[in-house]
């Protein structure tokens, strides 16, 4: 969709009146699919009538007079309107932003009045917002006037359950459906509808998105978690609240953990059979599992996909037909040996990896190789390839191998250091390091090496490390990396943990892989600096080692922002684990164990389910932050392998989170789209690359112990490199020029003179 600009009166257009917007968007001659032509006389004026009619049941999962935004977008794609849906995506994001803000302010919900008439089609923003509130905010709980007999009574019962906070076990619900539809869960009072991933928003002063140069220099998401004294045993998570905690409740951020209403499972499609069946010591007689008391039922989308069951129960799991059970996960929380079905995990990850790669743009017409579709940025593409490398290795699946290699090689840049020309003007140190981490992952996992004279994975990882180490800046804060590489980028005056933790992480892994003490020296150096400037803290009394956000260079890093992000914790814990595995030094063991303990701030204390503590409770996680759990899961998993003393605690947390993640991956039109909030035991309506990555990494981490530990050059690692990798050009290494006013004025004069010369030359050519 190009050339169309949203008018202000269209920005808050209710879904029910979206036809007006479509008249500005769709040409009168727009074509629809053959199967829909009989239902549509005029593609614009009749579109809304179509998607609310019985004829559209083949496109929609259920029929309502109030239509969900995703339903409209999905229907548009089904009907052949995919080229015209962008403007509706913008509208949907705006609506969700407004809805989230209203809920955060505690404004009461409005019930739609059946007698209400629309009196003013263009009544301004206030009237439009009121229409949105009445037409859409009750979407998940409103009853359709056209529902079949008996369906309304079931919905009322579910709403009563939601109000009472009662949890119903899976086997206590009648799963028989006669209408082919599914019930929508009644959203709890405290449930936040996250801002759609198609729209970025600032969330308060002093908070930031991953790269401000990608996000309009806005700072996104976060509840400040001040550093206070910790309980020496275990700092309990904050209790369930409807709003984020105040700063005094640190170090853990509040989470809006809702008591979702129970809803009827929809049979055997998608990922809804998460509880599965227990093996009662008799493979021929399997009995339905009664859900654990803390588990709730889930609502999933109907799908034609194969049945998927992730058997990860508190006791034992089903013996699969291939008799390929894998034992060994010790659930430290319950003290029981847990068996899990390798076949079911493999099947789950196959679906989730396919869903992840649905966002890949490089294989599409006009797409950029190595890039994922908008609004996912370059750094996250690097992280996503790391997830797919592990998937390919863990399950010996070569489906995406060529795509991964092509994408990662295409983005290396002319000097093989992941400084490609299409990114260098906006690239930050933290962006570059996530590509380096994926290259390191490929080297350690013996992932297929690039062919011919293309750079090898180790070489690329060394190239990233070398260029980052070259930028070590002692002009402020006594050292450290700046967030941004170039002075003209917003964030250049900020030194953050993720950039420096990334450098520490890379140094530790390179030291272990190459057995080169120069890298371990760098790891020591960066760690000591992080500790000196209080970007990380070691609390030996409580056992909590924590990672914070960063500080401004203008204040010489004296005012540290205490937000905690899960990927920072992941980078630190794994870096310490690699250093301990390489050096066998007790100091690194203590640090690894300390950061494992500290990472529990990202697991709800009552459920042990992973969440993004700094933003999830407030419903303010932006696109970048929705992927952070993926890195924590991956890095905790490898830590449990490299540091055996951490295995029990980590496996317990990841197993519980994997169950919750799989329950969340029950949404969308495919039945295995993953959400953000894993507390709900079902899809929360969110979707995106980050959500898919986080679920995939968490679930596939369960098989990591049954695969070889990360290789080194001495025990089977085949990737090769060079000590000076990535240093072919000083262009990306030198400090940027600090232009003075006179220099700027002089450059401007030259530019004007050259511009006038070009114009004069053009005039001469035309006239003569």
Predicted TM-score of the model (pTM): 0.59
> How far is it, in rounded angstroms, from Cα 191 to Cα 209?
23
> How far is it, in rounded angstroms, from Cα 224 to Cα 167?
32
Q: What is the pLDDT of residues 10-28, one digit of tens each?
A: 333 334 344 444 444 444 4
pLDDT at position 364:
85
* Residue boundaries of the structural domains of the chain: 8-172, 338-706, 739-768
Tokens 């996000």 sit at which residue? 215
569 is written with which tokens? 């914790």
Q: What is the pLDDT of residues 503-547, one digit of tens each?
A: 999 999 999 999 999 999 999 999 999 999 999 999 878 899 999
Q: What stretches of 202-307 adopt beta strand conformation (E)?
A: 277-279, 286-288
| Residue predicted with more confidence, 331 or 663 | 663
> How far is it, in rounded angstroms, from Cα 504 to Cα 578?
10
Question: What's the first-to-final CA gap in the chain, in angstroms?
Answer: 41
pLDDT at position 729:
53
| Residue predicted with more confidence, 382 or 176 | 382
Residue 241's Cβ-count burial label (10 Å; 0-12, 13-18, 19+) is middle
Residue 740's Cβ-count burial label (10 Å; 0-12, 13-18, 19+) is exposed
Alpha-carbon torsion 451, 457, 460, 462, what sign?
negative
| Residue predicted with more confidence, 339 or 529 | 529
pLDDT at position 88:
55
pLDDT at position 688:
96
* Mean pLDDT, residues 385-405 taken together: 97
720's enclosing H/E stretch is: none
DSSP-assigned states of every residue in 344-412: HHHHHHHHHHHHHHTTB-TTSTTPPTT-BPTT--HHHHHHHHHHHHHHHHHTT--TTHHHHHHHHHHTS
Pick from 548, 591, 553, 593: nearest CA to 567: 548
pLDDT at position 644:
97
DSSP-assigned states of every residue in 435-495: HHHHHHHHHHTTPPPPPTTSPPHHHHHHHHHHHHHHT---SSTTS---SBSSTTSTTTTEE
Is the pLDDT confidence value at 620 over 50? yes
| Residue predicted with more confidence, 117 or 569 | 569
Alpha-carbon torsion 425, 431, 437, 443, what sign?
negative
644 is written with which tokens? 């055996």
273 is written with which tokens? 């059979």
Q: What is the pLDDT of residues 151-183, one digit of tens each?
A: 444 444 444 433 343 332 222 223 233 333 333
Is the pLDDT confidence value at 296 over 60? no
Cα distances (Å, whole numbers) of residue 171 to 168, 317, 561: 8, 17, 47
> How far is it, in rounded angstroms, from Cα 423 to Cα 103?
38
* Mean pLDDT, residues 62-84 taken together: 49
pLDDT at position 724:
83
Is the pLDDT confidence value at 420 over 60? yes
Pick from 556, 560, 553: nearest CA to 536: 560
What DSSP designation does 15 have?
A: G
* Mean pLDDT, residues 366-387 taken together: 95
Q: What is the pLDDT of residues 631-680, one digit of tens each?
A: 999 999 999 999 999 999 999 999 999 999 999 999 998 889 999 999 99
The pLDDT confidence band at residue 29, using thresholds 50, 70 and 90, is very low
Q: Residue 394's CB: how many other CB atoms inside 10 A? A: 19
CB proximity list for 609: less than 8 A, separation 6 or greater: 603, 656, 657, 660, 678, 679
pLDDT at position 71:
52
The pLDDT confidence band at residue 235, using thresholds 50, 70 and 90, is very low
Phi, psi of 407, rounded to the nearest 5 degrees: -65, -45
Pick from 383, 328, 278: nearest CA to 629: 383
Of the ranges 270-284, 409-423, 709-723, which one carries the lowest mean pLDDT score?
270-284
Cα distances (Å, whole numbers) of residue 684 to 159, 395, 397, 489, 639: 16, 28, 30, 36, 30
Q: Is-contact 644 629, C-beta < 8 A?
A: no
Identify the architecture of domain 338-706 in CATH: Alpha/alpha barrel (1.50)
* Mean pLDDT, residues 732-758 taken together: 44
> How far is it, in rounded angstroms, from Cα 717 to Cα 95?
51
| Residue predicted with more confidence, 335 or 417 | 417
Is the pLDDT confidence value at 262 over 70? no
């Amino acid at each position: 969709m190009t050339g169309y600009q949203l008018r202000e009166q269209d920005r808050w257009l209710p879904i029910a009146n979206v036809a007006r917007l479509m008249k500005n968007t769709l040409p009168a001659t727009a074509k629809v699919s053959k199967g829909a032509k009989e239902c549509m006389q005029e593609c614009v004026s009749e579109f809304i009538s179509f998607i609310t009619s019985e004829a559209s049941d083949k496109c929609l999962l259920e029929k309502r007079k109030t239509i969900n935004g995703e339903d409209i977008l999905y229907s548009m794609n089904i009907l052949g309107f995919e080229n015209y849906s962008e403007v509706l995506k913008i509208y949907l994001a705006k609506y969700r932003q407004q809805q989230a803000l209203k809920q955060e302010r505690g404004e009461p919900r409005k019930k739609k009045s059946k007698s209400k008439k629309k009196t003013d089609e263009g009544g301004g923003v206030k009237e439009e917002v009121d229409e949105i509130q009445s037409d859409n905010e009750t979407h998940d709980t409103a009853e359709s006037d056209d529902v079949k007999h008996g369906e309304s009574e079931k919905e009322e019962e579910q709403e009563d359950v939601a109000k009472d906070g009662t949890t119903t076990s899976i086997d206590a619900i009648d799963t028989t459906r006669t209408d082919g539809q599914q019930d929508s869960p009644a959203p709890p009072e405290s449930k936040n509808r996250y801002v759609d991933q198609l729209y970025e928003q600032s969330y308060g002063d002093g908070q930031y998105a991953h790269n401000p140069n990608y996000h309009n220099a806005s700072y996104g998401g976060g509840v400040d978690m001040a550093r206070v004294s910790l309980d020496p045993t275990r700092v309990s998570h904050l209790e369930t609240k409807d709003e984020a905690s105040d700063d005094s409740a640190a170090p853990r951020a509040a989470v809006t953990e809702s008591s979702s209403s129970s809803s009827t499972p929809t049979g055997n499609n998608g990922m809804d059979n998460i509880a599965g069946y227990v093996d009662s010591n008799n493979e021929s007689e399997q009995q339905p599992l009664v859900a654990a008391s803390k588990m709730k039922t889930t609502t999933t989308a109907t799908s034609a996909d194969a049945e998927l069951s992730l058997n990860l129960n508190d006791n034992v799991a089903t013996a699969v037909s291939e008799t390929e059970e894998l034992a060994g996960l010790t659930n430290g929380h319950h003290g029981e040996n847990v068996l899990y079905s390798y076949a079911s995990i493999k099947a789950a990850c196959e679906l989730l990896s396919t869903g992840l790669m649905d966002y890949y743009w490089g294989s599409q017409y006009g797409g950029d190789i190595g890039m994922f579709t908008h609004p996912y940025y370059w750094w996250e593409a690097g992280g996503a390839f790391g997830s797919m490398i592990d998937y390919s290795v863990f399950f010996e699946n070569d489906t995406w191998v060529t795509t991964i290699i092509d994408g990662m090689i295409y983005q290396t840049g002319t000097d093989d250091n992941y400084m490609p020309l299409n990114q260098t003007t906006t690239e930050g140190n933290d962006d570059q390091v996530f590509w380096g981490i994926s290259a390191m992952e490929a080297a350690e996992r013996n992932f297929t090496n690039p062919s011919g004279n293309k750079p090898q994975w180790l070489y690329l990882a060394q190239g990233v490390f070398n260029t980052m180490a070259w930028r070590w800046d002692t002009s402020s804060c006594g050292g450290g990396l700046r967030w941004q590489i170039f002075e003209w980028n917003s964030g250049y005056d900020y030194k953050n943990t993720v950039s420096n933790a990334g450098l520490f992480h890379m140094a530790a892994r390179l030291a272990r892989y190459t057995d080169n003490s120069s890298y371990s020296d760098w790891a020591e150096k960066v760690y000591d600096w992080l500790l000196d400037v209080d970007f990380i803290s070691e609390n030996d009394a409580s056992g909590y080692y924590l990672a914070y956000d960063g500080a401004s260079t203008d204040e010489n890093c004296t005012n540290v922002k205490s937000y905690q992000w899960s990927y920072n914790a992941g980078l630190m814990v794994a870096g310490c684990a690699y250093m301990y595995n390489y050096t066998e030094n007790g100091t690194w063991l203590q640090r690894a164990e300390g950061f494992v303990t500290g990472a529990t701030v990202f697991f709800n204390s009552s459920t042990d389910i992973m969440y993004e503590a700094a933003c999830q409770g407030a419903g303010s996680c932006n696109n970048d932050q929705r992927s952070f759990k993926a890195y924590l899961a991956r890095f905790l998993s490898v830590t449990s392998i490299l540091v055996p003393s951490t295995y029990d605690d980590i496996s317990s947390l990841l197993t519980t989170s994997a169950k919750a993640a799989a329950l969340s991956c029950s949404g969308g039109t495919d039945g295995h789209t993953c959400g953000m909030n894993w507390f709900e035991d079902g899809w929360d309506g969110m979707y995106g690359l980050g959500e898919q990555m986080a679920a995939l990494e968490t679930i596939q981490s369960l098989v990591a112990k049954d695969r070889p530990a990360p290789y080194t050059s001495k025990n089977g690692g085949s990737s090769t490199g060079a000590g000076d990798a990535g240093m072919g050009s000083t262009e990306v290494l030198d400090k940027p020029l600090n232009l003075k006013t006179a220099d700027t004025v002089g450059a401007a004069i030259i530019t004007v003179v050259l511009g006038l010369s070009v114009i004069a030359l053009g005039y001469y050519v035309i006239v003569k």
